[in-house]
Each structure stands twice: as C-alpha cells, then as structure tokens.
Amino acid sequence: MTRLLTVFLVLLLAACGGQSPSESVDESAGDESTPSGEAQSDTAQADEAEELLPEVPGDGVDSERYAEHVSTLASDAFQGRAPGTRGGRMTIDYLVREFSELGLKPGYGDSYLQPVPMIELTNAERSDISVELGEESMTLTYPEQMVINSRRLGDEPHAVEDSEIVFVGYGIVAPEYDWNDYAGLDVEGKTVVMLVNDPGFATGDEELFNGRAMTYYGRWTYKYEEAARQGAAAALVVHETEPASYPWEVVINSWSGAEFVLASDESAPRVDLEGWLTVDAARDLFAAAGLDYEAQKERARQPGFEWVSLDATASAQVRNDLRRGTSYNVLAEIPGTERPDEAVIYMAHWDHLGRNMARSGTEGIYNGAVDNASGTAGLLELARLNAQAGPAERTQLFAAVTLEEYGLLGSRHYANDPVYAPGDTAAAINMDAMTVLGPTNDVTVIGYGSSELEEILAEAAERQGRHIEQEPSPEAGYYYRSDHFNLAKIGIPALYAKGGVDHREEGREYGLEWQADYRANRYHKTADTYSEDWDLRGVAEDVELLYTVGRSVADSDRWPEWYEGNEFKAIREESRK
C-alpha cells in the first residue's frame, strides 16, 4: 500500500495539484513557491513515468468487435463450451481462426494448440449417504442435502462402508500459522467433515491467517488434497453461502456434470469420495450425534482446536464412466524484437460448463457469457491491439486455456509444460469474468498488494482518471480461483484486475448490487447469457488498461517483483537465478 501511495503522490505533486478520483491534493504542493530545482525534479519523474506508459494504438478497443466475440462464444450454437464436446471444438477452431487472421504466429512450436491430455469422469451411479448413529439412522439425499463425486479412476464403484465420521474443523494443516486440525488423529478409512473458508474469515481477526481475505487453505480444492494426504476415505465440506461466496445451486450445477483430471495426475492421491453437505444437513447430522453445529463451528475457529468424532458411520458409493481424451490450450504469439526468449503472457479461459442434458432443448445450456466469453473476447482484443502496435521488445504470448471450470487444469498443464521458462516470463495478466456494468472510477485488483505490476496498473489507471482498490470481497478467495494462480505458483508475477464497482454515473451501491445479483442469479447458471443491453464502455477501458500494463513490461527490460512477504517471492527468486 505504501508503495502505491508513493507512486500516486510523486505523480500528483508533479502534475501541479491534479486530483485523484477519490481525494483532493493540496494545490500549493506544485505551485511557484516550490523551489525550482525540486519542481524540475518532480516534473522529470512524472515525465519518466509517463514515458513508461505506451499509448493504446488506433481507436483503441473495438466494442462492436468485442460484443461480436462474446455473443458468438456464448451463443447456444457453442453449447456451453465444455471441453471434449462439439461446442468445445467449435471454440478452439474459432480462436485459432481469429488469432491467425490477426497475424499472430502459433505459440506452441508450429501449432496453435497445446495438447492437454485429460480423463473425463461422468457419473453413472451416485447413492445417497446412509448414516448410522447407534440404533438410529438417517439418509442424506442428492441434491437436496448433499452431492458426492469421485475423481479416482477405474470402472469399479468407489465407496465407503461404515466409515467413522469425524469433524476436523477447517481441515487445515498450516505450519506457518501453527495450525493443525488433524493433530493426533489417525484418519485412515474415516470420513472427515470440514468447514469452508478458513479461521481468519470466520473470526475477522487480521492476525489469524489473512483476516477476512481467504488464503488457499480456505479453498475446497486444498481441503480435499489435505484429506487425501492424511489418508481419509471420504471428505465432505459444509456449504454456507457467505464463506463459500456462492449459493448451493452453484455447487449442484458445478458438480452434477462431468469431472476432469489431467492424465499426468492419474496417480495423484485422492480420497474415495469427495463432496459437499448443505449447512442444514450438517446441522441435522450434528444434532443427531448429540452435538451443536454452531458450538462446534465456534470451537473450530480457535487455535488449538481438537477434532471430534460424531460416533456415527457413513456408507455411500459412486461409479463413473471414464473417457480418455485431449483438450487444448490455444496459444498464439507475437515474437519479440530484442529479447524474444523473454515473454509476457496474457491469458483467459475459454471453457465453461457445457449443458445439462436432463433439461430439454437449449434450456440446459450454460452459455457462460460473463464467465468467461467476456475474458476470452478481451484476450482477442488485446491480441488485435498488440498486433496493430507491432512487435514489442519481448515476446507476447496469448493463452486461451482450457479446463478452468474443472480445477484450473489447462493453466496447470501449461505451468508443467511452459513455452517460456518461468524465470524468463516477466509477467502474466489474466482476464476472467469482465465487469460489464459500465464505466467505473475504480479498478478492482484481486489479490491486492501482491506485486509491482500493481504500481504500473496504478499509473495507467490514473491516466484514465481512475484508481485501484482491493476487491470488495477478499473473503471469496478469487485469487486462488482463476488461472493466473498456477503461474503464480511457479513464481511468475501475475495480475488479475478488472473494472470495479464504483459506477461513474450510478455510484458504488449500483455496482455492488450488480455484482451481488450476478453471483446470486447468473454465476454458473444458465442465466449467464449475453445481452445487447450490456454497457461495454467500462470493458473497453479495462482492456485498454491491461494493454498498457502488459505493453509497458513487454517493451522494457524491467522485471516486476513480488512484494516482500508474498508467498511466491522465494519461488520467483529461485527461478531467476
């Protein structure tokens, strides 16, 4: 934060009393009473900063072209863009054609396509969860009370039989926070029940984990991974809308279709069954076991929490049909003129959830207009703008990645098989679910306070009369829920930013209401469709902003760094040796 304020003040003072969008500056700071040498120094700094910011070429973003990309990719004809389907193949063909027509070169050797070998798991049988509590029993049914799947391979059913149920709080083992919810527990063969998010969110204590901002320990993906490492047979996460940041319907829609795993992860440890319980089902389960759910949740928030057995057992099974196949990351590039072995990556995921075949006609299509036809269209516009501007000093790689909706698998595959080594990749810029509510005064930075890319973003935003802010809901953990995360994990400074919520004409409440409505009524639902009523003025500004940031790095020899204390800084330093 201090770094960003310093950048702002240098620029503002040099501008002789100019104002940021949100606060005024003492106009006397740069008037004639300032010593001439100091004024010239400040002006020189401002001029130098401006020189680092490239101009957007031509007329900037073509909103009509952008809208055409979104309306096409999110049309019923593309059937929800699920990998391994006709709609997925149509999407890949569309992207290759667009990149080629823009004059971009293939980004994976002599091909635009980076193969992503995958295994598709389609549920063929899913039982209820039968619970035995001494002489009593209860049944948890799908989808009203629970959902279970298995990502283990094989044609035989994956099951638990009379598996002891244990509540393990948040299911976290984090030595750096001196936290171990599994301490003293032999979990082999047991079914663990866990809370979503992490103790920092639950308590609001800024000294605990990362306060209200979710850490990776709060993500359900981590919880299943840790349960598998511990040797559990099954893992169930309790869904609550606020800490999860989405309603139960999103869980059902996301978990009722096919699941995918990377073929390279075939031997990775996994529990037999993983899934979710509604909070009401969890309350009933705990009550039947003689426990108060809210009291146990309160215990789980405290350091030193100890697991508790429900003195109950669970039995359930899942059987999947397996299909091996290949999806593709679509990679295109503009080779650099001076340092072609160094790269800046722009990325967006092209996939979505496909369709629900249980619903007739087009009613079951998850069109994914905002998520993420909007980001894919932004990627194509960034490619067009950079092609129009001509090659930069560094290579610019445009990556439309697959399988994001199924665990960020396409970007993980790229991280395992990068075209440019992590240490030679200067930055990554991600676009996911662009803000289509209109122009905003603010720019939302997901994972605010991570890297020096934010300083470039702040300068570029100021040029638009805007400012950068932390995301309104850091507790949702969005930084760990999109593809840039996999590049961050291999050390590459990664920026995920988009339009904010403070609408330039309607105000902040309007933007917050729009965002809440999207999460509640359209996110991962069939209602996420394109509308000609979208106000694309803000998206145009956002894409041009990201162009400025990316081009600034691509046309320089700078190496943006992670800020001190960031979890990825040591990885970056090692990769740059």
The model's pLDDT over 185-241, given as tens digits with 9 standing for 90+, comes to 999 999 999 999 999 999 989 889 988 888 889 999 999 999 999 999 999 999 999
Q: Helix axis angle, 375-389 relative to 86-101, nearest 10°?
A: 20
Q: Is 34 exposed, middle or buried (0-12, 13-18, 19+ CB in 10 A)?
A: middle
Average of per-residue pLDDT across 43-57: 63
d(CA 547, CA 505) in angstroms, rounded, equals: 25
The encoded tokens of residue 512 equal 């917050």
User: When comparing pLDDT for 381 and 1, which is higher?
Assistant: 381
Q: Specify the range with the lowest mean pLDDT, choosing from 36-45, 262-271, 316-325.
A: 36-45
pLDDT at 451 over 50: yes
Q: Name the phi and psi angles at 376, rounded to 5.
A: -65, -40
d(CA 317, CA 353) in angstroms, rounded, equals: 24
Average of per-residue pLDDT across 4-10: 37
pLDDT of residue 11: 35
Confidence of residue 472 (pLDDT cuts 50, 70, 90): confident
Contacts of 557 (CB under 8 A, 6+ apart): 339, 393
d(CA 468, CA 458) in angstroms, rounded, equals: 6
Per residue in 290-338, pLDDT tens?
999 999 999 999 999 999 999 999 999 999 999 999 999 999 999 999 9
pLDDT at 373 over 90: yes
The b-or-e profile of 68-98 (16+ CB within 10 A means b, else e) is ebbbbbbbeebbbbbbbbebbebbbebbbeb
Confidence of residue 518 (pLDDT cuts 50, 70, 90): very high
**Beta-carbon neighbour count of residue 559 at 10 Å?**
14
pLDDT of residue 253: 87
- Residue matched to tokens 């705990």: 286
User: What secondary structure does DSSP assign to 292-350, as a single string?
Assistant: -HHHHHHHHTSTT---EEEEEEEEEEEEEEEEEEEEEEEEEEE--SSEEEEEEEEEEE-
Q: Helix axis angle, 453-463 relative to 537-554, nearest 10°?
A: 130
Torsion-angle region of residue 556: left (phi > 0), alpha (psi -120 to 50) or beta? beta
pLDDT of residue 16: 37
pLDDT at 515 over 80: yes
d(CA 111, CA 131) in angstroms, rounded, equals: 53
d(CA 421, CA 576) in angstroms, rounded, equals: 10
Are 500 and 442 in contact by the 8 Å Cβ rule? The answer is: yes
d(CA 137, CA 162) in angstroms, rounded, equals: 12
Percent of the chain with pLDDT over 70: 91
Q: Specify the range with the lowest mean pLDDT, choosing from 155-159, 195-199, 313-317, 423-427.
A: 155-159
User: When comparing pLDDT for 256 and 15, which is higher?
Assistant: 256
The encoded tokens of residue 200 equal 């920092």
**Beta-carbon neighbour count of residue 55 at 10 Å?**
12
Confidence of residue 51 (pLDDT cuts 50, 70, 90): low
Q: Specify the range with the lowest mean pLDDT, choosing from 226-230, 265-269, 390-394, 572-576.
A: 265-269
The encoded tokens of residue 103 equal 């004059």
pLDDT at 20 over 80: no
Per-residue HEC secondary structure of 209-223 comes to CCCCCCCHHHCHHHH
Average of per-residue pLDDT across 410-415: 97
Torsion-angle region of residue 517: left (phi > 0), alpha (psi -120 to 50) or beta? alpha
Torsion, Cα 22 27 31 33, to 10 degrees, reads: -130
d(CA 386, CA 547) in angstroms, rounded, equals: 8
d(CA 399, CA 33) in angstroms, rounded, equals: 52
Are 253 and 366 in contact by the 8 Å Cβ rule? The answer is: yes
| 486-490 CB contacts, 8 Å cutoff, 24+ apart | 486/408, 486/411, 486/412, 486/414, 486/415, 487/345, 487/347, 487/411, 487/414, 487/415, 487/422, 487/425, 487/428, 488/428, 488/568, 489/415, 489/568, 489/571, 490/415, 490/418, 490/422, 490/571, 490/575
d(CA 489, CA 398) in angstroms, rounded, equals: 19
pLDDT of residue 213: 87
pLDDT of residue 155: 79
d(CA 199, CA 192) in angstroms, rounded, equals: 17
pLDDT at 128 over 80: yes
pLDDT of residue 301: 96
Q: What is the DSSP letter of 55?
A: P
Q: Specify the range with the lowest mean pLDDT, choosing from 14-18, 224-228, 380-384.
A: 14-18
The encoded tokens of residue 127 equal 């039982």
Q: What is the DSSP letter of 558?
A: -
Percent of the chain with pLDDT over 90: 82
Antiparallel, parallel or unpaired: β 234-239 and 494-499: unpaired
Domains of the chain: 2-51 (no CATH), 63-111+335-575 (3.40.630.10), 121-322 (3.50.30)
